[in-house]
Structure 1
Amino acid sequence: MAWWTTEFTHRLVPSPAGRIHLVEQGAGPLVLLLHGFPECWYSWRHQLPVLAAAGYRAVAVDVRGYGLSSRPEGTAAYRMVELVADGAAVVRALGEESAVVVGHDWGSAIAANSALLRPDVFRAVGLLSVPYIPRGGPRPGAVFASMGGDEEFYITRFQRPGRAEAEIEPDVRGWLTGFYAALSADTMPPPDAPDPLFVPVDGVLRERFPDGGRPGWLGEEDLDVYAGEFERTGFTGALNRYRAMDRDWEDLAPFDGAPVTRPALYIGGARDSAMAWLGAAIDAQPAVLPGLVSSHLLADCGHWVQQEAPDEVGRLLVDWLAALPR
């Protein structure tokens, strides 16, 4: 039996999605951990015991569409307001009134909007890799479609149902290895290589993935977990988050430009290739996150910060949490 099935407590709790699978360790103030794409609760395996040892009830969930959580049909089920409702339902199901919410990648966007829409539940917010970007401007789909010139940005490529699935699902293990490697500091393509997040319209993403093997943070057992989950569930639930972006733009119109005022933390990787198009948003965070306590860019770290630099991320989270009012 794998260590992660016995070291942590696994539970299914009710939510608007149907059910949410969560993994918890420790006792104390609740810290809710939200993963990004293409991951699952397992991306927080290093931080769960660290937070538990520091006196917190650490809970990592499978976001709806992933893992053992429900996978509703239709892109509308993956709107941001639905994902925020799932998080609030998890807090209630655990018998708590409030939580600190921490997210990575898409989980960061969910965490920020949780603090924006439900400040009564989420008392502080930690953002990893992706900064808070308030609702505003043109529809996101139009913005991403305009990027890349003659090439197609990966988010645009994900929009049409079935298209990305047809590329990924015949070889989940190989595609995941390449995608993780493309955005990891120790295996990413050199600076003069074509950007792996863009691809010719008639090409496929994996043609620009590096072929040097797994990144250092991704052991064989780790890849077994991720590949096994997506081989079982497929990718449609995960990809529907991208396909709901324009619905978010409509839903969140009343919050156009709104800041997130809860105490906040940001941690990014200095070598994350997304810095090329997220750098201005990181610079703007003091204005849109007036409660920002500290911001960190980790050297020699790519996109998968809590897995590439687990010890440093654990330390930064514990220090930040300790300074929050309880």
Structure 2
Amino acid sequence: MPQPDPRSTQLTHRLVPGPAGRIHLVEQGAGPLVLLLHGFPESWYSWRHQLPVLAAAGYRAVAVDVRGYGRSSKPAAVDAYRMLELVADNVAVVEALGGRPAVVVGHDWGATIAAHSALLRPDVFRAVGLLSVPYTPPGGPRPTEIFARLGGGEQEFYVSYFQEPGRAEREIEPDVRGWLAGFYAALSGDTMPAPGAPDPHFVSPGGTLRDRFPDRRPAWLGEHELDIYSEEFERTGLTGALNRYRALDLDWKDLADRTGAPIPQPSLFLGGSLDASTTWLADAIDAFPTTLPGLHASHLLDDCGHWIQQERPEEVNGHLVEWLASLPAGADGQH
């Protein structure tokens, strides 16, 4: 009786060279490459429910630690976290694994990085899946100016709060585990503050983000899961992760020549109906016929928050596998 390929059943940790030094990844399965990019503040581990399912469906599923996270390199300079650098990291992973052309799927910041990887390197990325954060083409006003106007001067938007190096770190460092638990709860469908309660995306004058975190734990976040996340960030700190926010205006300059550019490759969007990323950016979702002309499907999962692939893994997996099966064959003849 033929034996299953061990690559389809085992998680393999690897380090591959990247522009900033090293990129840590975890892979499972054999077949066409599907690159998985996490968001803030997470790690490769946020794809733990997807790796075995994609492997079983016949794909080489690879979840990376994005630059600044986990075992990947963490340059000190803010400008090392600009979008062009992160796209270059993804290209380096695909080249190291011999997986061109690849499919790229991202969640949260990873969705934005995935979208720009497809936009800037269509020769490397043949399709793109976006979770929680819809694609918005480059262009428009300077990002930090937009975020500074939110809150009406009475409170500060979290992206603006993150801009000053060291400021958010001073809030987080004394209790990384507690901060992460609160941040995850604040954006989870079953624990987020009720409508009308203080919004955890904002900071009161003289306050912190933690002031508005719920004191409950979401169903998807057990002690084991929180241990893994907190141990990673207690070891690495969050400066590398926060530097992505601090590079926004650099992206605005770097991508000025791509203003309004659509992504023509086959695409998929999945979001949570309760997630601010989908409600605040509803106009971006409505614009998909123009910005994502190759869109296969767009789904909003009822009663789901921001951490979509961890809150609702079975539904997300079903949509991902169905979409991947629909894709035309790559240059290697594989789907």
Pairwise TM-score range, normalised by the shorter structure: over 0.9
**Aligned match of 1:296:** 299
**Aligned match of 2:210:** 206
**Aligned match of 1:46:** 49
Residue among 182, 190, 196 paired with 2:186: 182
AA at the equivalent of 2:254: D
Q: What does the per-residue CA deviation read over 1:259-318, in whole Å, with 9 as the maximum and x for residues that have no partner?
A: 011110000000113334211111112210111110000011100000000000001000
3-state SS, counterpart of residue 276 of structure 2:
coil
Alignment partners' CA distance in 1, 2:146 and 2:247: 14
Q: What does the per-residue CA deviation read over 1:67-96, in whole Å, with 9 as the maximum and x for residues that have no partner?
A: 000001110000000000000000000122
Q: What does the per-residue CA deviation read over 1:97-146, in whole Å, with 9 as the maximum and x for residues that have no partner?
A: 21000000000000000000000000000000000011111100100111
Is 1:271–2:274 an aligned residue pair?
yes
Alignment partners' CA distance in 1, 2:266 and 2:205: 42
3-state SS, counterpart of residue 46 of structure 1:
coil
Is 1:240–2:243 an aligned residue pair?
yes
Is 1:85–2:88 an aligned residue pair?
yes
Is 1:32–2:35 an aligned residue pair?
yes
Alignment partners' CA distance in 2, 1:201 and 1:247: 27
Is 1:222–2:211 an aligned residue pair?
no
**Aligned match of 1:167:** 171
3-state SS, counterpart of residue 136 of structure 1:
coil
AA at the equivalent of 1:151: Q
3-state SS, counterpart of residue 36 of structure 1:
coil
Alignment partners' CA distance in 2, 1:219 and 1:211: 14
**Aligned match of 2:326:** 323
Q: Does the aligned pair in 1 maintain the 2:134–2:278 contact within 8 Å?
A: no
Alignment partners' CA distance in 1, 2:33 and 2:41: 25
Q: With structure 1 as the length reference, what TM-score do the two structures score? A: 0.97
**Aligned match of 2:99:** 96
Alignment partners' CA distance in 2, 1:284 and 1:17: 35
Q: 1:7: how far off?
A: 4.1
AA at the equivalent of 2:292: L
**Aligned match of 1:128:** 131
Matches within 5 A, 1:297-316: 297-316=300-319
Alignment partners' CA distance in 1, 2:276 and 2:88: 31
3-state SS, counterpart of residue 69 of structure 1:
coil
Aligned length: 320
AA at the equivalent of 1:60: A
**Aligned match of 1:15:** 18
Q: What does the per-residue CA deviation read over 1:12-45, in whole Å, with 9 as the maximum and x for residues that have no partner?
A: 0001021000000000000000000000000000
Q: Structure 1 residues 198-207 or 260-269, which shifts more?
A: 198-207
**Aligned match of 1:75:** 78
3-state SS, counterpart of residue 262 of structure 2:
coil
Alignment partners' CA distance in 2, 1:40 and 1:17: 18
Q: What does the per-residue CA deviation read over 1:149-172, in whole Å, with 9 as the maximum and x for residues that have no partner?
A: 111000000000000000011100
AA at the equivalent of 2:89: D
AA at the equivalent of 1:114: S
Q: What does the per-residue CA deviation read over 1:33-62, in whole Å, with 9 as the maximum and x for residues that have no partner?
A: 000000000000000000000000000000
Deviating above 3 A after TM superposition, structure 1's stretches of 4 or more consecutive aligned residues are none
Q: Does the aligned pair in 1 maintain the 2:139–2:255 contact within 8 Å?
A: no
**Aligned match of 2:115:** 112
Identity %: 73
Q: With structure 2 as the length reference, what TM-score do the two structures score? A: 0.94
Q: Does the aligned pair in 1 maintain the 2:133–2:278 contact within 8 Å?
A: no
**Aligned match of 2:4:** none
